Structure 1
């Protein structure tokens, strides 16, 4: 490991001796020939870019010899891609066509980093800034705004993504370019991440095991970190947000600066919330939480090497609600609660050759999860004993250490073929330090080999790949044989071969069809194999099954899209067949008052899709009408419905945008109605969930005060104070309702 780091640093120093090339040009309006100011020019292969000046001129230096795609985007224009070859002394003249359609962005989570319109796989993407405009309290709540994505929640502080009915270890999360590992198997375990310092989120819906390996069977949530400042600039910003429902406040500040080669950024965030209030005016006891988040990064780039070293520390104290009891606006922790420390250290390196490159990513993650229990004592003497027990330490404490690596070689183009070869893997240890043990001490190791190729013609793109994976799980014997808390040792190996084939075809102008078929797999996780204990957040006793097999699936995905200057429509249908689907099943017995659930397997299938339209009619391009629907059904081979399947939902939004006003600029306003239908297709241990509709609205804009730009935003969620319970709420069995009306006010300054 150290030798690799020294080698990369040496390459960074010596690479400055290579010849330097530049690409320069001008961006103009295709209809008026006027220069386009502040247009973004981005070289996805190098992850490097620039902005045009007042005259529409740009220049990007320190580029090695080779062929590159320039992605040019600007608000109010269609995004386009232009190919250039270096070295060249010619100035590139780029014409942008005016359009009311939102500008496209490069998709990072797919292998070849193309625009959405050029990808073989459809990917949902949204900026965190746009998600925050909705008034989302947490990152998990924000991503639930994307079509086909929902969240399993335990109160307001714990949420995790559900993609087309699959969640937990079936959805892989990437942060800072490395896979996130934080005991995500538990439904009552949150993301352990803040939206602070995250620029955008991308969602691959469907099996992404070919690119990411085990645990990506259901899809991938890819969080793109905040970009560095543009070369030769320094940025400073601060933001304060208030949420009325939970009396919550969030403060955020960031600083970043960039020279020609070296770059630096740092950002801190602190959020604290009281118990949230339901639509009937009652506060949900112990739904309070607070979160501290710190991110920093150092980057370096020249014509032959790019390096990005980033670190993220996240600390969360999250109450575990069990009832509507004492009404309080206190923010002090209350038993039972979780305390989670999450560290992510990533080192992303890229070596550039003529028309090829080598990517080397290394990540170290440390997750410390503690749970403090409530014994529900009533008198003061017993409460004092409880406080003393808390001081002695948590009832549950688990340390999860993960070292993961990702090496990919992007080969030189062979005609119309572009190919990637790669190897990925991780080494992981889980250790217990608390009195209670849910899963034993264990070691997990992964390794995977992959190859994926892309074939491009004028109207046709084909992408195909193959992959082999091996996962090894070895756990320690813990406890005394014959006793209830005994953990038998296991030593299991899981292997799988997978493949994918995707086709994108431009049927005619502006009409795109995508067909993808892929296999995926997921090895059973440590909890499914070895669990033997009660979970506070779920109120059940879980028993593992050491004989579980791989989950193996085959998914077919069809997407049709049409767009013109003022109208967009899409439909996306899928069918997902999973062999040996692992699920929890009631065992019809109790241990210490908690119902016992055991892990079993049965074949299953999920099917459904998403559809939507976006209308922005001419000449009133400031008006946007958006509508979408998401449907998913899930059932086992024996006819039983799968648990935690989202209900069918419809989302309709009226949005207005004005770039300039008398006092403000970048003005916007929106009105959204989300309607969720009854969920009657429930599993054996679920109950029917009535439907509901939620009304949201918001306005915002920015203005300059001297040399400082100030953004003001106000948004309201559940404005009609609807009393409802989401089908994916972990508090539903206790009859605890979701959050009522919430007004969010945000002030952000840029210096």
Structure 2
């Protein structure tokens, strides 16, 4: 404790402060313990009992997001401090269906966004718990996951996955050999606040490759100035005997801020409904995350580092042409390392500098990422493949409010990527290669009363180099245009966007055994760049008790790239099926997402939510595309308990039903999938004395339903998902 106080004594670089008071707009009385986020600083403040908080060391222009229990969230742009006390009036609202959401990439409020961007809160204490990060993300309409057991999962957005979906962490583009279905997102939910999900072609702000969409993760805010926060959390799941422990520490002075998170997880083989265990579905991993922030006058600086190290078993590994599902099941649960397995080690470093002017913001983000992937098939000492993928990205952006109606955002992005094989590996699946990207973009947003419109263009260039192909260049001009119109209770959005993706080195030059997917893969040097166009519509209807969103979409693709099985037999590798990368001249995906949230007037604490996700994909011959997910219906019934005098309080109780419909329209080399429904239940509690403790207790797959999802990598050998899983999480707040 003395050490923490000593550190805080080193941090005070005091400037003239600004007091903020939050009051009720009708009664003019203080709103106790209101929360205020300073958007530009990533700082979260909490008011005292009389609704006041001291704000120190802020830039000349900044944005406040003010919220309070029972009140509408309010967004305020402060361009000039007029007095010592800034009074913020908020309106009462017994129901908050739509929070104020500001895009972490553009700074635009969601209700003014031209596309229907979804911002999902991670680690929400009142949401149904999931086993991993992708489980939380996949609860969003139109978003799914491809998974291999419990240890590997990766995102699917409107039927697009792999290299067609980009992942960012605090603005840093994550490269992690995402060309393969068994290479999942390697970081966890530790220290992550939100994820912004952009559906469909998104090249304008994110660059080449964003044909299917983007996941943009943002870390938790810093704590309030001159305070510290710390907590320890433990989680347990009965199905895989999974244990997870995380620790969090946040410290801040007036100008300096510091966050550190550490976590460890260990899971044994998961159990299926018949009582058996899936052999080698075990995994373990550790995470370290730090962030250092500093601001002085107009300058804001953030330095972030994240390290993830995982050991993941590969279930369902076989050389048999007709495997028997019982061969991969055991009556004994195990967590010891066994071949085949993956060793994955990631390092992410980002350096962010922001200069804030009266009406403009200039931001430069640079960094470094490395992904070390090692796969052992039959030998623990000698890897089958071992590769190191490094990336040096940069992102320079400038945004300015030209006047009260017109905003201009412009920027330049690029990256240098290198992939290198280790000589200790037995095989080389991909050759050594490198690529250089650069792009520039510009967009304008015009707003006038109930009308918003946005138009933007972008140019991208990529050069790929490898000994087998020499050097190849790809380039494309893309654009986006859209509008938002609000009238009464309705909000209408429409957006047209385009994108492109050059063929990846794995698609052009793969020639070897991929142990993670148990197949021999062959690339094609004749592949051309993919192009995509999306037309997206969205209609929102909002009242005090009802929120409905309908979002149909239509995508067209040119030169669509996919991988398919062949009848070829490779000498010396007769036990491996041979897959080849191919290209269809055109393809389409189309569908709709519907979201419904009802809060009855007669039961203020009851919430009924339901969403519907449907997508279809076809090639130029009207034949189904592979890996298109099943139609899904999610239903959530939640009851929120009110004020309670007891030390132990029950906060919420939720019942969730997820129904996947039959999948009969499948690619020629896929099999159909049956419908199934899963029921989950969860309760959240809190205990307050000298310290505060939060408890989450739930059951997933209550009725022990046997199911095989269409996107499971274990579907081809008939291995089902996990059976009943009782879980709990205890979060102990130290201060």
TM-score normalised by L of structure 1 = 0.91
Cα separation, partners in 2 of 1:121 and 1:43, compared to 1, 3 Å = farther
1:86 match: 80
2:380 to 390, 395, 407: 390
Counterpart Cα distance in 1 of 2:192 and 2:371: 20
| Superposition deviation, residue 666 in structure 1 | 6.6
Counterpart Cα distance in 2 of 1:326 and 1:58: 59
Show the 5 A alignment for 1:402-481.
Answer: 402-433=391-422, 434-476=425-467
Moved over 6 A (4+): none
1:596 and 2:578 aligned = yes
| Superposition deviation, residue 64 in structure 1 | 3.9
1:468–1:497 Cα contact (<8 Å) kept: yes
Counterpart Cα distance in 2 of 1:254 and 1:102: 30
2:376 match: 372
Counterpart Cα distance in 1 of 2:416 and 2:732: 42
2:126–2:684 Cα contact (<8 Å) kept: no
2:50 match: 55
1:26 match: 21
Cα separation, partners in 2 of 1:156 and 1:131, compared to 1, 3 Å = farther
2:657 to 661, 670, 673: 673
2:389 match: 400
| Superposition deviation, residue 222 in structure 1 | 1.1
Cα separation, partners in 2 of 1:413 and 1:58, compared to 1, 3 Å = farther
1:684 to 665, 668, 675: 668
Counterpart Cα distance in 2 of 1:305 and 1:320: 47
Cα separation, partners in 2 of 1:464 and 1:48, compared to 1, 3 Å = farther
| Superposition deviation, residue 81 in structure 1 | 2.3
2:103–2:110 Cα contact (<8 Å) kept: no
Summarize deviations over 1:241-269 as a string: whole Å, max 9, x none. 11000011000111110000001111111
2:406–2:447 Cα contact (<8 Å) kept: yes
1:21–1:65 Cα contact (<8 Å) kept: no
Counterpart Cα distance in 1 of 2:727 and 2:273: 16
Give the total of aligned pairs: 704
1:240 to 234, 254, 263: 234
2:677 match: 693
1:559–1:570 Cα contact (<8 Å) kept: yes
1:606 to 589, 606, 620: 589
Counterpart Cα distance in 2 of 1:496 and 1:283: 49
1:263 match: 257
SS in 1 for 2:111: helix
2:280 match: 286
1:628–1:651 Cα contact (<8 Å) kept: yes
1:26–1:91 Cα contact (<8 Å) kept: yes
| Superposition deviation, residue 731 in structure 1 | 0.4
| Superposition deviation, residue 327 in structure 1 | 3.4
1:567 and 2:546 aligned = yes
Show the 5 A alignment for 1:644-655.
Answer: 644-655=627-638
| Superposition deviation, residue 349 in structure 1 | 1.1
1:617 and 2:600 aligned = yes
Give structure 2 stretches of 5+ with no counterpart.
1-12, 317-326
2:686 to 683, 688, 702: 702
Cα separation, partners in 2 of 1:738 and 1:49, compared to 1, 3 Å = closer
1:494 to 465, 474, 481: 474
Show the 5 A alignment for 1:327-366.
Answer: 327-366=331-370
Counterpart Cα distance in 1 of 2:104 and 2:617: 27
2:58–2:297 Cα contact (<8 Å) kept: yes
Give structure 1 stretches of 5+ with no counterpart.
1-15, 375-388, 477-487
TM-score normalised by L of structure 2 = 0.93
Counterpart Cα distance in 1 of 2:115 and 2:48: 35
Counterpart Cα distance in 2 of 1:266 and 1:354: 32
Counterpart Cα distance in 1 of 2:314 and 2:69: 44
1:64–1:354 Cα contact (<8 Å) kept: no
| Superposition deviation, residue 219 in structure 1 | 0.6
1:107 and 2:102 aligned = yes
SS in 1 for 2:328: coil
SS in 1 for 2:342: strand
SS in 1 for 2:508: helix
2:394–2:415 Cα contact (<8 Å) kept: yes
2:650–2:686 Cα contact (<8 Å) kept: yes
* Cα RMSD, aligned residues only: 1.8
2:323 match: none
1:38 match: 33
SS in 2 for 1:250: strand
Summarize deviations over 1:92-138 as a string: whole Å, max 9, x none. 33222222114624333441x23322322212222212388423111
Counterpart Cα distance in 2 of 1:337 and 1:721: 28
| Superposition deviation, residue 638 in structure 1 | 1.7
1:64–1:86 Cα contact (<8 Å) kept: no
SS in 2 for 1:647: coil
Summarize deviations over 1:382-430 as a string: whole Å, max 9, x none. xxxxxxx422x31210001110000001134245211111000000110
1:301 to 295, 307, 312: 295
SS in 2 for 1:528: helix
